[in-house]
Amino acid sequence: MNKTVEITDLGNKDYKETWDYQEQLFRSILDIKIKNRRENSNLITPNYFLFVEHPHVYTLGKSGDMSNLLVSEEQLKSKKASFYKVNRGGDITYHGPGQIVGYPILDLDNFFTDIHKYLRLLEETIILTLAEYGLKAERSSGETGVWLDVGTPFARKICAMGVRASRWVTMHGFALNVNADLGYFDLMIPCGIRGKAVTSLNVELGVDKINEEDVKLKLLKHFSNLFEAQISHQELPHQFIS
């Protein structure tokens, strides 16, 4: 089993470009697995983890309800935001500047074949990272992602999650609000859940700006510990070098 995970930070990149790149990596792993099965070979499958920050964009998952987007696509254009229907689970989600998005593209045969465990460990990665900033984050029963003050009238989501998996290969992932402009969340019903607020790490700590590179380092530390993974940092792929 290959437990090395190749980390690439794509910087600020268009959602569709990044989605296409995810699909490319996802398909490359699937192709190896299919070849192994057909030819009874034992080629090693790689694992990837992409960090990225997207320009303003709204994405709707396979089970999502279009009515959870509260403005027209024309109004989105006036906000310099784009919109895509995507092939992950979950409902509607916003991505934008000040948000750390993580896309683990893993062959879970290298780790464990349990999607429920995979999601719980992703959540735990976020929970342990936020604990380093003095926040008690937790799961909310029946609601994906990571929350604060669960079970109170002040419950608020700080990290959204939505994944896709096929033959135990994952894609999509999490979006952690670090220095996010929370006004953009007012244009939708986040994850289709009414009456729940959204927050950002800088708001919770009462500061103007959090060092996002420090947050990424903490995320990788907890991710590698929880998944018992070896981290390998990779250079930007050629299509993302300007």
Q: Which residues are catalytic?
A: 191
Q: Any binding-site annotation on 229?
A: no
Amino acid residing at 204: E
Q: What DSSP character marks residue 132?
A: T
Q: Any binding-site annotation on 137?
A: no
Residue pair 34/77 in contact (Cβ under 8 Å)? The answer is no
Residue pair 115/104 in contact (Cβ under 8 Å)? The answer is no
Compute the radius of gyration of the chain from its Cα atoms. Answer: 18
* Nearest-angstrom CA–CA distance, 27 and 15: 18
Q: Any binding-site annotation on 161?
A: yes
Residue pair 31/69 in contact (Cβ under 8 Å)? The answer is no
Q: Any binding-site annotation on 91?
A: yes
Q: What are phi and psi of 218, to 5 degrees?
A: -65, -40
Q: Any binding-site annotation on 160?
A: yes
Q: Are strands 82-85 and 57-60 parallel, antiparallel or unpaired?
A: parallel
Amino acid residing at 135: L
Q: Any binding-site annotation on 64?
A: no
Q: Any binding-site annotation on 175?
A: yes
Q: Any binding-site annotation on 192?
A: no
Q: Any binding-site annotation on 206?
A: no
Q: Any binding-site annotation on 11?
A: no
Q: Any binding-site annotation on 94?
A: yes
On the 0-12 / 13-18 / 19+ scale of CB atoms within 10 A, 154 is exposed
Residue pair 105/165 in contact (Cβ under 8 Å)? The answer is no
Annotated binding-site members for substrate: 88-95, 160-162, 173-175
Annotated binding-site members: 88-95, 160-162, 173-175
